[in-house]
Structure 1
Amino acid sequence: MKKDIKVLIVDDSAIVRKIFTEELSNEKGIQVVGTAPDPYIARDKILRLKPDVITLDIEMPRIDGLTFLKKLMHYHPLPVIIVSSLTKNGGNLALEAIENGAVDVLSKPGSAYSVGEMRKQLVIKIKAAAQVKMKKLQRTAIAGEYREILNQPLRETSDKIIAIAASTGGTQALETILKQLPPTIPGILIVQHMPPKFTTAFAERLNKICSIEVKESKNGDAVNSGCALIAPGNYHMLLGRSGSKYYVTVKDGPLVNHQRPSADVLFLSTAKSAGANALGIILTGMGSDGAKGLLKMKEAGAKTIAQDEESCIVYGMPKMAVKLGAIDQSVPLERIPLAISNIFKGWR
């Protein structure tokens, strides 16, 4: 019989601690072993209660969440879910936390989702975090040989599309891939399971460090070579085509696979609008979002890639896609940019 996932809630807000505790109290397989209003009390409870997962408020008195996270990762590494307000500063702090070892981010109750939707997100993220192998979170340098290969020019094209989806661990994986892609790469559409504002901050950060343009998508945006569009948090993104031009529709809608944006929504629309002119890629993350949509892409003639199990922070979404027969090749994360390059060089 599986043991319950032991969770420690660290937040200076008594209301947030109460909401999280109540919402998780009836969830099978999850046990809230304690709460803490600040990192000092949290430190003692971590040693005493030995939680499997921690939810951590990023903005707290005495010691801020980011400083505490850095100390925690150095002395006592544990899967940490960052809880932050829906502000631009909150988004930037959350991304910095992920760079320093946090596994995922969640918006504070009432910021983006109803309490019911927040509960679903919280449960999904806790279960995913419990599966994380902390050693895999150690960032590894990209081998120089791949950079050299990718510096070779690709033929610029406007009729090809790359659609990518990721969840837990996806921010690091996407950064690894996008930093290596040349400006001649076909247009890229990305679904990363993240709340609003966080996707804005994520797109802005990637745009600063990549040679391609990266931005959060807006309804009606054209899909152009050398540009990656990231679906905004809490909205679905679909690919459409008008004549020879691709564009995106960004819209509200019900959660799909408990997600909004959903990978399946993106992949299904890509199968319909781009057919064999597309490449679908599914990266690290828990659950099955994207697996069925990727199968539809493959059936429409698209090429498909999954991140391999060894390099995934959580091998869930790629595993389901492989299980459905939706994948042409499973590739280690550091080799995915090369695989993309080879596919488009061979495409005529």
Structure 2
Amino acid sequence: MPTPIKVALIDDSAVVRKHLADLLTKAGMDIIFTAQDPLFAWPKMQAQWPDVVVLDVEMPRMDGISFLKQIMSHRLTPVVMCSTLTEVGCETTLQALEAGAVGFVTKPKAGLKDFLDDSGNGLVDAVRAAARANLSALPRRATPMPTPTPGGLKSPTAAPFVMPPVPGSPGAMAQTTDRLIAMGLSTGGVQTMEAILTALPRTTAGIVIVQHMPEAFTASLAQRLNHLCDMEVMEARDGDRIMTGRVLIAPGGKHLRVERQGAQYRTRVTDGPLVKRHRPSVDVMLKSVAQAAGRNAMGLLLTGMGDDGAHGLLEMFQAGAETIAQDEASSVVWGMPAEAIKLGAARHVLPLSAMAARICRFSAGS
């Protein structure tokens, strides 16, 4: 019988602590302690260190982001953020991810009691994914993001990850409509996406991305990445053209498909049922790319829990596309890539450090 995951739950609301503790306990986890704020939590952590910390953002005396940085500077520990602020202020979530959080769950502004009692609210899955996370694989930004808010804190126990820039190819611009790159990511994906995109030149072929995120987060993520990247990064809209120098990120709560219109690729952003419990779904996007672009496409399935995208990558492989799965050592959670490898969907299994160069070679037609 597997050892229960040891969880520390830190939230200033006694009601939230009780309901979430009950929820995680029913899922077979061991709540080793709860605390109303970081100053109460810290001595308890020193006495018994948890496998996963579930952490609110807005608390008295010390906010969750500051405490997250303190935890990570002391010992790399999987942290899941659970706060209303992560929905109201998307910047807060991105700061948490930069500082080392591996997941987040949003508490709704209305209907909180129903959320707290709902075993399908995403917290159990997020904690399980966090417990499996390979924190040493989390890419670290070398310099703070150019926004008014502070960037992530680099833990002294983890070497900074800096993907070297890849020089542009003079032939890449000719591939404006012929080539297409599709990426799917989940847990650990924000940091992984940033590491790849910041290494790509603006002459790279058009890129479409599904990152598992709820509504309102993807626009903020795209805006922040756009400040960092040579390529233009946008939240995808229905009918956007996929073209050289542009990255389109599927909006949270919507599916993203790719269609061929004459010599161009364009996005279809639609509602629809959850697929593999996700909307946007990586499978939905990759299957559409297989149909629309075939051998003119590259598919990458990167870090994340579950199997969303594995069958879509297989369809791309069968359509003649170049397909890549991230290797275990560089994945924060080796779930989605592992499932694709089991299906025989990946032509190549590569570390994160090799992704940008491979994308550039494909983009240039070599």
TM-score by shorter chain over 0.5: yes
Partner of 1:224: 243
Aligned partners of 1:170 and 1:111: how far apart in 2? Answer: 28
Partner of 2:105: 106
**Whose helix proportion is higher, 1 or 2?**
1
1:240 aligned partner, one-letter code: E
SS at 2:59's partner residue? coil
Check conservation: 2:254, 2:271, Cα contact below 8 A.
Answer: yes
Q: Deviations over 1:189-240 (max 9, x none)?
A: 1111122222222111100000001011122222222111111122221112
Matches within 5 A, 1:202-281: 202-281=221-300
Q: Deviations over 1:6-58 (max 9, x none)?
A: 22221223343233223323224x23333222111221332334321111112
Of the three residues 170, 175, 189, the one matched with 1:153 is 170
Is the deviation greater in 310-319 or in 8-17?
A: 8-17
SS at 2:184's partner residue? strand
Partner of 2:56: 57
- TM-score (ref. length: structure 2): 0.87
Partner of 1:22: 22
Aligned partners of 2:111 and 2:308: how far apart in 1? Answer: 20
Instruction: Give the Å deviation of 1:90.
Output: 2.3
Partner of 2:156: none
SS at 2:18's partner residue? helix
Check conservation: 1:153, 1:182, Cα contact below 8 A.
Answer: no
Q: How many residues align?
A: 343
Partner of 1:132: 133
Instruction: Give the Å deviation of 1:71.
Output: 0.9
Partner of 2:68: 69
1:276 aligned partner, one-letter code: R
SS at 1:279's partner residue? strand
Is the deviation greater in 131-140 or in 154-163?
A: 131-140
Q: Deviations over 1:251-299 (max 9, x none)?
A: 2222222222111111111112212211100111111111011000111
CA 1:143 to 1:31, structure 2 compared with 1: closer, same or farther past 3 Å? Answer: closer
Q: Which runs of 5+ in 2 are unaligned?
A: 141-159
Aligned partners of 1:112 and 1:199: how far apart in 2? Answer: 23
Check conservation: 1:120, 1:258, Cα contact below 8 A.
Answer: no
Check conservation: 1:59, 1:65, Cα contact below 8 A.
Answer: yes
Instruction: Give the Å deviation of 1:112.
Output: 11
Check conservation: 2:163, 2:195, Cα contact below 8 A.
Answer: no
Check conservation: 1:280, 1:303, Cα contact below 8 A.
Answer: yes
SS at 1:310's partner residue? coil
Check conservation: 1:86, 1:198, Cα contact below 8 A.
Answer: no
SS at 1:165's partner residue? strand
Check conservation: 1:88, 1:201, Cα contact below 8 A.
Answer: no
SS at 2:240's partner residue? coil
Aligned partners of 1:137 and 1:344: how far apart in 2? Answer: 26
CA 1:240 to 1:143, structure 2 compared with 1: closer, same or farther past 3 Å? Answer: closer
Instruction: Give the Å deviation of 1:154.
Output: 4.1
Q: RMSD of the TM alignment (CA)?
A: 2.3
SS at 1:20's partner residue? helix
CA 1:14 to 1:154, structure 2 compared with 1: closer, same or farther past 3 Å? Answer: farther
Partner of 2:41: 42
Q: Which runs of 5+ in 1 are unaligned?
A: none
Aligned partners of 2:122 and 2:273: how far apart in 1? Answer: 14
1:210 aligned partner, one-letter code: C
Check conservation: 2:87, 2:107, Cα contact below 8 A.
Answer: no
Instruction: Give the Å deviation of 1:172.
Output: 1.0
Partner of 1:176: 195
